[in-house]
Each structure stands twice: as C-alpha cells, then as structure tokens.
Structure 1
Amino acid sequence: MPKYIVRYGSMRNLGVFSAKGTSDYRRGTQVIARTGRGMESGEVLSEATEQALAQLKDPFRGSIIREQTEDDRREIFRMLGQQRQEFEACGKRIAELGLNMQLVDVEHLYGGERVIVYYLAEERVDFRELVKVLATEFQTRIEMRQIGVRDEAKLLADYGDCGKPVCCNTHLSEMPPVSMKMAKLQKATLDPTKISGRCGRLKCCLRYEYDTYQDLRRELPPIGSSVITDKGRSKVLSQEILAGQLLVETEDMRRVMIDASEVLTVIPKPKGGGKPKPKQSKPSPPPPAADSSEEE
C-alpha cells in the first residue's frame, strides 16, 4: 500500500497517509483524507520515503480517501464563505460574554465533524459558556485552541520583507528557535524593525544559515588571537566569515585585511585577556628540624 506525505489543515500539519489499493498520487495533488480530526482536504507533497520520513518528528498517520473532485472543490469554496460567517458570529459571542481573548481564525473541517477556534490570550480563559453557545449555533463540535503570535502569523500572514510568502505559511513544519546571537554572528543589522518577521519575533530565516556560519567560523583564528604570516605577527580584530578573511593589526599598528590562507601559525588568546605570566618556581620547603633527642 503506497504512502505519501500530506499537508492539511489551516496550521499546515504534516502526516503520513496511506492510499487505497494501487492509487498513485503526484506532488501537488489535492486530496480528501481522513485525519485524527475528521475528514479534511489536503495536498500531497511527496512519497513517504525513508529520507522524507527522517525529516518528520512523530507524524500523524491517516489515509487518503480520494483525489478531490469538482464537487469537493465546490464544497470547499462554499465552506470558505461559511467560515467567514462563523468567524463574525464567534467574535460577537466573545464580545457578548466579555471574554479576555483575541479571536484569530476559525477553521471548519471539510467533513463537518468540528469547528476549530484559534485565539490569543495572555491568561487562562474560561470559555465553557462560549463553547455551549457556538455548538448550539453551528450544530457541530467546537474545539478551542490557544496559540502564540508566531502561530498567528502562520495562519494570517502573507508576504515577508523578501517579497516571498512567509516561511511559516509555506514550507516550515516546525518553528525553529531563533536568538539574537544568530543575527550577531551573521553580522545582520540589529535594528529590531529589520530583523523581525510578521509575528514581531526574530525572523526564522536567521536560523537557516547559522550552522554553516558556525562551521566556517571554527576554521578561522578566533578574535583576539595572534597569528603569524610571512609578513610577521599580527592580532586578529574581526572575521569576515563568508569571505574567509581576517581584519588584523600588525606590530606597526596598521590594520589590514588578509586571507585566512595566509596564516602560518595561530597563537591562542591568553586566558583572562592579559599577557601570559611567566611561570614562577615554587619555593622549596624548609629542611626538617633536627631532632635534639639522643639515643641512650
């Protein structure tokens, strides 16, 4: 039974789905699949090869029911309009109940088994009354899902500063951890307005090349160390990691850019930042005191 990697749901979930019989689905095929949430529409990304499975962490497993038909596509289009109405209705009920939460999106599964409400909240929200009201109004099961600002961007954002669709909305299956350390290593601008994504957090793309930068940096003499070239001794002031170059200060206080291949020897930076102190010999212990007792 052939298996495929399928992307489904508003949150772009990934799963391994088996196909009935000898059905063959090509990349990009729109399908109707059975997931743990119910019957949903999805998109085939690739065959579930060992290499593809190695990229997924504990993926959900389901089954592909069929390729989407014209009737399926018309129903999906109708449901999109229905979701907009449900979003407005849900927003009104939240306001009426005075709940301290921000409605982000509403997802109505293709099979109608449930409606998923995505929301932001700083504190825990008692939404039991809201669920009762919505279940009566929509005549289906209601699932509430609290999300973070990065998930909000995944649901709603369109294009990034690069002019392409945001990564979290297209190919990213997990949000990678990103830190300011990554921006500093890549010598990106530290202006928050330029290195922040649509979610207001550091851009995920700062993570993509970080490992490569680290590997390249390990091959260069560290900042603060002294190097010996055919022109003499110099001190490393900074590194141009991608270019493989070093900014050094020579003994006559000139600053020049050299290629890392010109380095003949690297003298490690002294611990503590100062000049290495010469080793001092320990004073020899005093001789043992003479015993004044006499043998009889």
Structure 2
Amino acid sequence: METCSSCSSEELPKGCKNNGACGTGNCNSKLSVFNWLSDIHPPSIKNEPQYIEVRFKDDRKDFYINDSELSLCIGDIVAVEANSGHDVGIISLTGELVKIQMRKKRAKIDELFKVYRKASHKDIEIWQNYKNKEHTVMLDARKIARSLGLQMKICDVEYQGDGSKVTLYYTAEGRVDFRQLIKDYAMAFRSKIDMRQIGYRQESAKVGGIGSCGRELCCSTWLTDFRSVNTAAARYQQLSINPQKLAGQCGKLKCCLNFELDTYVDALAEFPSSQTVLETEKGKAYCIKVDVFRNQMWFTYTDNPISWHPINIYEVKRLIDLNKKGINIKPLDELQQKEELKVDLIEENNLHRFEKRSKSNTNTKRKSKNKNQQRTNLKNTAEKPKPKAKANNANSNQQKKRPPKKNK
C-alpha cells in the first residue's frame, strides 16, 4: 500500500496527490480548509514571520509562528510549544491563507506559540502511545465520576504530545464540583488534569455520526460555527413542530434548518399574511396552511374545519381586494370548482404526461395485435373444407327405421 508523502498515514489524500491542498481533504481530517492560494506564490519579504495552522485530535486547531524558518508543508508532523512541555500535531494549512484564517478567527499574534522542530521518531512513538491510551482513560474517568455521584458525562479525552497533561471534555447541565474529582484523576492518570466543558453540539462534532439524511454530520465535517436555531425556522418552512424529527443527534434542533431559511423567507414575501380572513357568503374563512411550492393557501370555515379549500395566492389577493371594497365573495366550494374547470390541454404542469402517452401507445398496440389475431382465425376457419354428408349411410338408416310391410 502506498503511503502519504507528507505524513505517516498509510493513505494518500483523497482525489489527488497534492498533499491535502485540494478540496477533498488531507488524510481524512475533519474540517479541512480548501487552500485556494496553493498555486500562488507571493513575493517573499525579509524578516516576515511565517504562520502555520496545526491540527490536533478531531477538530482542535491552533495557529503557530515559524520563526526558525523551517521548510514545512501540509501533512508534516511537528512539535510545537505548549503551556507546559510540548505538543505534537499535523500541519493542516500553510501560506497566505493562514493569515486570512487568523483574521476570521480573530487570533492574537502576540499570544501565538512557536514551532520547535519537525517531530522525530521518538516524538512520534511517544505521541502514538498516549493516543492509544485515550479510550481506556475515558472509560476509567467515567467510572470515577459515576462513583462520586456527579451529574456529568466524559465525552472525550486528549493527551498532550509529551503526555504531561490530559484534557477531559465533558458535558453537564449544571455546575459540577471538581475538588475531589481532580484529585482522583491525578492519582489515577499521573499527569496534569485539564477539565473543559463543551456543549452538546460540540460533543456531536467530536464524536461524529450519520444524520437522518444518510450523510455524515455537518458539524463534524465542514460546519465550523454553531448558530442558534429557533422553532421559528421550522414554522417558516411549514414543518410540524415535532421534536423527534427536528432534533439531531445532539438533542438540539438541526443546524440544517438554517440552510434554506433565507429562500423560504424570500418566497413568503409574495404571499399574503397567514392571518388572512376572507369574508364569504357562508361566513368567515381562515387560513390554516401555506404551500410555498405550489403557491397556494388553504382556507377553511369555523363551522366545517374538516374540509380544506386550496386557493392560488394571486386569487387570494384578488379576493382580499374585493373584501376591502365591502363585497362578500362566493363560497369557497364554487371558487374551487371554477379552478378545476380550467383544463391544461398541453399538460405542461403534469409531471406524468409522458407516462400516460406510453401507456396509451401500449394499449393501442395490444388492441391491434388482438384484431390481427381475430382476422387470421377467421381466415383459417373459412379456408377449412366443410365435411360432406354421407348419403348412403343416411338412406340405409331411413330404410332400417321403416316398419316392414305386411303380406295381404
């Protein structure tokens, strides 16, 4: 099996051999950034600091200064400065695009750490050994927290590259007392303990999974910022407020509800208000449903709420103008009958118009085949010779039936 030319993984970057500079992702990393400036080489300036983006476990990334002018590229494993000791990560981005990402995430240049060196074989071995321990440490941490009766969930564990610090990510609804917990963790894991509380959306981004659409979760692949999702987004899209269908794996409303919200808002700008009331001869008709795709509004009477009547939005606007003039419109049943009388001869709005024609052609072909078979059968019956009557046999039978003559 071929190996990546830039890192120690046993897989080439998907799509091409550009070491992750393409938009397909480098070595199956999460939240990879498309380096659209990879082919552009700006003029180099003396004593200009170089910045790189380093990816650690899952979606954790950070920016560093390459002040020692090391020749680094995407996929290199480097040892970088940390608060205590050093950490090991993989370079995910280099060049001028790093500065744009730093402005986007508002990173402070004065607070950036330095890049020590390219990771040696010893650094990589120590880093891999601690990475293999993370799952067992997470299970042990959950047991210790459960024994203390704390209402929290340890969802992920990350070791620093040199093993001097363990970061435990947890979720909790309320405040958690860590005084005894940190002591037990320090005795069990023999390293510095760092507790970080994250939300349920961040937990699903770290763990990952498959959504109801059949694809990998957006938060674990490409979504970097978590915007608040309200039930108003579902109401604009005419969705039923069902928490089982609208909630994602994190238990919160799905982030994809915001993706098409702007399109629905623009489409609903042409619709009359959903609080529209029509004055008819039978009484008041209230709007109960809006169909954005068909440009229709559904109305019903208070006396008969079971029967719904769809009306086009342009017809609704005309009826509203008539009500403003003080004219009561005809009942909705008659209006609906008038709309049904309009026949689409060309069948432009019918999606199954070609299927109907194909069925009719097949039926006509079958009828023609049946007629041809009937004609051939008639010809065959006409050509067959009719059987001749046996006269001799008939006369003999008649003679036998006659009674014998009496002698006088």
Match of 1:13 in 2: 60
Q: Is 2:244 the partner of 1:193?
A: yes
Structure 1 residues without counterparts, runs of 5 or longer: 227-234, 278-296
Q: Which has the higher helix share?
A: 2
- Give the corresponding residue for 1:83: 134
Residue in structure 2 matched with residue 105 of structure 1 by the alignment: 156
Structure 1 segment 248-267 matched on structure 2, within 5 A: 255-257=310-312
- 1:129 correspondence with 2:177: no
Distance 2:263 2:94 in 1: 27
The one of 153, 162, 166 equivalent to 2:217 is 166
Match of 1:56 among 86, 91, 105: 105
Q: Name stretches of at least 5 consecutive residues in structure 2 with no aligned partner.
A: 1-48, 278-285, 300-307, 327-408
Asked whether the equivalents of residues 88 and 127 of structure 2 are also in contact (C-alpha less than 8 Å), the reply is no
Whole-Å Cα distance in 2 between the matches of residues 164 and 69 of structure 1?
38
Task: Tell me the alpha carbon deviations over residues 217-244 of structure 1, each in whole angstroms, 9 at most, x when there is no partner.
Answer: 3355544569xxxxxxxx9986555x5x
Contact 1:236 1:247 in 2 (8 A): no
What is the deviation of 1:46? Answer: 6.0
TM-score norm. by structure 2 comes to: 0.51
Matched ranges for 1:208-223 at <5 A: 208-218=259-269, 220-223=271-274
Cα distance, 1:41 vs structure 2: 1.8
DSSP-derived class of the 1:165 partner: coil
| Contact residue 51 and residue 99 of structure 2 kept, 8 A | no
Q: What is the alpha-carbon distance in structure 1 between the residues aligned to residue 273 and residue 228 of structure 2? A: 26
Aligned length: 256
**Structure 1 equivalent of residue 144 of structure 2:** 93
Structure number with bigger Rg: 2
Q: TM-score, normalised by structure 1?
A: 0.66
Among 15, 20, 23, which residue is 2:71 paired with? 23
Q: Which moved more, 1:80-89 or 1:68-77?
A: 68-77
Cα gap change, 1:136 to 1:211, in 2 (>3 Å): same
- 2:366 aligned partner: none
**Percent identity of equivalent pairs:** 27
Q: Distance in 1 between matches of 2:123 and 2:166?
A: 18
Cα distance in 2 for partners of 1:46, 1:187 equals 45
CA distance in 2 between counterparts of 1:240 and 1:58 reads: 46
Report the Cα distance in structure 1 between the residues aligned to 2:258 and 2:271, rounded to whole angstroms.
21
Amino acid at match of 2:190: Q
Report if the CA contact (8 A) 1:9-1:42 is conserved.
no
Query: Residue 186 of structure 1 contacts residue 213 of structure 1 at CA under 8 Å; is this kept in 2?
Result: yes
In the aligned structure 2, how far is the partner of 1:52 from the partner of 1:117? Answer: 27
Residues of 1 paired with 2:291 and 2:196: CA distance?
Answer: 45
Q: Deviations over 1:241-287 (max 9, x none)?
A: 5x5x521589xx974446xxxx69x78x89xxx9699xxxxxxxxxx
* Whole-Å separation in 2 of the counterparts to 1:154 and 1:222: 39
Query: Relative to 1, partners in 2 of residues 1:100 and 1:248: Cα closer, same or farther, differing over 3 Å?
Result: closer
Give the deviation of 1:83 after TM superposition. 1.4
Q: CA RMSD in A?
A: 4.1
Higher strand share: 1
